[in-house]
Amino acid sequence: MKESRKQRLATFGFGVLVAAMVGVLATAVWHLPEEPPGLAGEVEARLGDAGASNPVTAVLLNFRSYDTLLEIAVLLLAVLGAQVLAGDEADLAIVRDGVRLRDDPSSNPVLEGFVRVAGPIMVLFAGYLLWVGGHAPGGAFQAGAVLAALGILLLLAGTHTRLAVMAPAVERGVMVAGLGAFLTVGIGMLLAERRFLEYPVPGAKWLMLLIETCATVSVAAIMIALFRGGRLIRGTCPPQREAGSKS
Amino acid sequence: MTTQLFYALCGVSLFGIGFYGMVICSHLLRKVLATNLMSSGVFLVLIATAARTSGGHPDPVPQAMVLTGVVVAVSATALALALVRRFYRETGETRLPATGVVTKED
């Protein structure tokens, strides 16, 4: 692409502008106070009532649970948007030499062997991450990410999975489970004459664990679906159209 | 210069590089990647500024914000990639048209 002199000048000028912006931001960061008040003190003070001894999990699931609720809603929005955009392109199929990869597991035996060995370990590790999030770094999103990685490995290895043949209602239920559990707990608190998402102190740990379990399943399902272009269920793929053809 | 300040400055430069790439690169996939780079820069700044506490433990609130931000960035990237795929399917192009008007005849 031949660039005119004007384009090159504009690019350079924009580069100078960005450098100036970076300079301003760097100056701002340089002059940040050494030990600001922050919220660490308040979190430390109320950690006993939080239902989790890991402060990050307490902040995520209790003190700032509304942010986490909206975060799960954003994930759901992304997968719905991806489904809408996928339209009638039913599957993001990985094709090698004309053969759709999921129909031919022998095309990558090392990957398939690795998934056979690592798969159960990853499931176990996800469960461990979910539980240990209460008192050490871990939690729902980390566990969901490990499960999503397992799902993507299964897809890449071409191994047939029950993921692809679940009923549509189950697929929808699994994706909505995290947001649904969160909203149920929140509204349940409203019905119990507390504020929205205000957990009772003795039961906080189990409520948070319930929310985290549903969120793990949801996050994993949504991320696998996003990798496949929006759906978990294997669709009937129409004949591949040429890109840009009018039909 | 403390370690946190160094990481924060790295985060700021990542943000600048990503912003430059997002505007200048014409390939849509590179724009998406540059946006991801910007978000990585922001997360690095947040984490670096979380380390400045008087006690031994870093501030958990920015860490939780970064966790949330990572998930939101993943969702946004996935949706952006779905948009790029759809754009490619409709027009066969991977760059936005120079005139800024997209029609099927282009």
- Which one is predicted more confidently, A101 or A181? A181
The span from the CA of B43 to the CA of B62, in Å, is 9
8 Å CB contact of A39 and B89: no
Give the distance from residue B26's alpha carbon to the nearest chain A alpha carbon, in angstroms: 11
Nearest by CB to residue B72, choosing from A33, A71, A81, is A71
pLDDT at position A91 is: 55
In chain B, what residues touch A243 (CB-CB under 8 Å)?
Answer: 88-89, 92
Nearest by CB to residue B19, choosing from A18, A141, A244, is A18
Using the predicted structure, report yes or no on whether residue A140 has a pLDDT greater than 90: yes
- Which one is predicted more confidently, A26 or A161? A26
Count other C-beta atoms under 10 Å from residue A195's C-beta: 8
Q: Which helix or strand (DSSP H or E) is residue A96 part of? A: strand A95-96
Contact B19, A18 (CB under 8 A): yes
- Which one is predicted more confidently, A60 or A94? A60
Instruction: Give the pLDDT band of residue B22 (cuts 50, 70, 90).
Output: very high
Across residues B1-20, what is the average pLDDT?
93
- Which one is predicted more confidently, B35 or A96? B35
* Tokens 């502008």 sit on residue: A17
Nearest by CB to residue A40, choosing from B23, B59, B83, is B59
Encode pLDDT of A71-104 as tens digits. Answer: 999 999 999 999 998 876 655 565 556 666 555 6
Interface of A with B in 126-185 (CB under 8 A): 139, 141
Instruction: Give the pLDDT band of residue A239 (cuts 50, 70, 90).
Output: very low
CB of A243 within 8 Å of a chain B CB? The answer is yes
Residue of A nearest to B77 (CA): A78
The span from the CA of A84 to the CA of A93, in Å, is 18
Amino acid sitting at position A18: V
The span from the CA of A173 to the CA of A164, in Å, is 15
The span from the CA of A117 to the CA of A120, in Å, is 7
* Average pLDDT taken over every residue of chain A: 85
Using the predicted structure, report yes or no on whether residue A244 has a pLDDT greater than 70: no
Residue B100 backbone class (left: φ over 0; alpha: ψ -120 to 50; beta: rest): left
Q: Three-state DSSP class for A152?
A: helix
State pTM to two decimals.
0.85
